[in-house]
Amino acid sequence: MRPLGVYLHIPFCRSKCLYCDFCSVPHADDETVARYVAALCRDIRSYAAACADCEVDSVYFGGGTPTLLPPELLEQLLSAVLETFRVTEAAEITAECNPATGGAAAFSRLRRAGFNRLSIGLQSADARELRALGRLHTYPDFCRTWEQAVSAGFANLSADVMFGIPYQTEESLARTLGQVCALRPQHLSCYALSVEPGTPFGRRGEAALHLPDEESVRRMYLNLIAYLEGQGLAQYEISNFARPGYECRHNLKYWNAEEYLGFGPAAHSDFGGTRSGNAADLRAYLDGTMESERETPGREERMNEYVMLRMRLTAGLDAGAFARRFGQGAEHFLTAFGRFIPGGFVRRTAAGLAFTPEGMLVSNAILSEILDFNA
C-alpha cells in the first residue's frame, strides 16, 4: 500500500488576522458553510478509485479555523475521509484550533469521532502583542481551551508561537515560551513573522509596525531553540519542535517529499507524479468552476525539490536515502552545501549534511544559490 496524507482546508474564521495571507473568509453564513462541507465531501469521495492502493496515515484539517465549524460538520468530513480511504488505525488526525473556539463538549465529541491531535494557535501570551496581530483571543482564553482539550482526552497537543512580531522583545518572547512550556505541550511550532503584500500589515509597511530589529529576531530564534531543547522539545524542522515521538507526521510528509492530497480552495496535492494547486477561490469551489494548476515535474526538478525539503529538517540531507530514491549519488549537492561548513551555516552528519541553527536563519538564500528549478 502506498502511504498517503490527506489535507482538508477549512477557509472560515471569526476575523482575518492582520498578517494573514491564507485563503480564509471571516463571518461566513451557515448556508455557505453547509454548502462548502457538502462540496468537500463530494470532492473527497471522487478519489476512491484513484486511491484504492493507498493507505492514509495522516489527516490534517487546516484553515482558517476548523473548530469554528460545528462538531457535527467536522464529523461529517472525517466520515467522508474514513469511508473513502483506507485509513490506518494509528493514523494521526489533526485539527487546527484557535483559542475560544471548540469548547469542552465539542472537543469530547471530536475525540470520540477519531480526532487525536489539536494544534492550537496562541502566537503570543502578551496582550499587547496579540492586539497588534489582530488576534481576538487572550492568553487566558488559550489556557482554558488547552485545559478543555486535555480534559476531553487529547494527549497530543501542539501550540503555535510567533516571533519577530510588533512590540515583541526578547524578554517578552521568553515569557511566552515559559508560559507555554509550563503546560507541557507535546509539540510547538515557532514561526517568524513574514509581512506579505496585500495583507493589512503589508499595506501598512514594516516601518510602521514596531517590529524588532533584525539582530533581535536572530537572537530570538537562536535563544528559543536552546530554551526549548532544555524543555525537552527538540527541534526537528526549521520552525517545529517536539518531544520524542510527537513530531507532526502529516507535515513530515511534505518535508520528506511523500504523497499527499489536498482538498478545498488553495489546497495543494502531490499524487501519482503530478503536482497540483487549487485556486484560492471559495466561490468558484462552491460553484464547481474552480481551476487547478497541474504539472508533472521532471527528474532534475524532483531532485532539487527533495533536497530543498529535506534541508528544512534538522536531520538534513541523507545521502543514502537520496541514492535509493533517485538511483544516483548526491555528491553534487554535498559539495555545494559543503562550501558553507567553514562559515558555520552547514554541519556534517553521519548520513550527509544539515543546516546549523545559524544556517537555518539564512537557509532560503543558501538554497536559492545552490538549487536550480529550471533544470
313-365 confidence digits (pLDDT tens): 999 999 999 999 999 999 999 999 999 999 999 999 999 999 999 999 999 99
CA–CA separation, 200 and 18 (whole Å): 5
Contact call for residues 97 and 63 (beta carbons, < 8 A): no
Q: What is the DSSP letter of 362?
A: T
- The per-residue pLDDT for 375 is 45
Cβ–Cβ contacts within 10 Å for residue 90, how many? 8
Domain range list for the chain = 2-254, 298-375
CATH class given for the domain over 298-375? mainly alpha
312 neighbors 361 (Cβ within 8 angstroms): no
At residue 27, the pLDDT reads 82
Q: Is the pTM of this model over 0.85?
A: yes
Distance CA 74, CA 110 (A): 8
Residues of the chain with pLDDT under 50: 375
Per-residue three-class SS string for 141-188? HHHHHHHHHHHCCCCCEEEEEEECCCCCCHHHHHHHHHHHHCCCCCEE
**String of b and e for 287-311 (b: at least 16 CB within 10 Å)?**
eeebeeeeeeeeeebbbbbbbbbbb
Q: Which helix (H) or strand (E) holds 240?
A: strand 240-242
Q: Domain 2-254: give its CATH architecture.
A: Alpha-Beta Barrel (3.20)
Q: How far is CA 267 from CA 10, 25, 290, 355, in A?
A: 10, 15, 12, 29
The predicted structure's pLDDT at residue 373: 60
Fill in the DSSP letter of residue 243.
S
pLDDT for residue 374: 54
Spatial separation of the C-alpha atoms in residues 42 and 58, rounded to whole Å: 20
Contact between 238 and 18 under an 8 Å Cβ cutoff? The reply is no
- State residue 291's pLDDT score: 87
Return the pLDDT at 39.
96
Give the integer Cα–Cα distance in Å for 311 and 356.
Answer: 10
Q: What is the dihedral of CA 230, 236, 242, 246, to 10 degrees?
A: -150
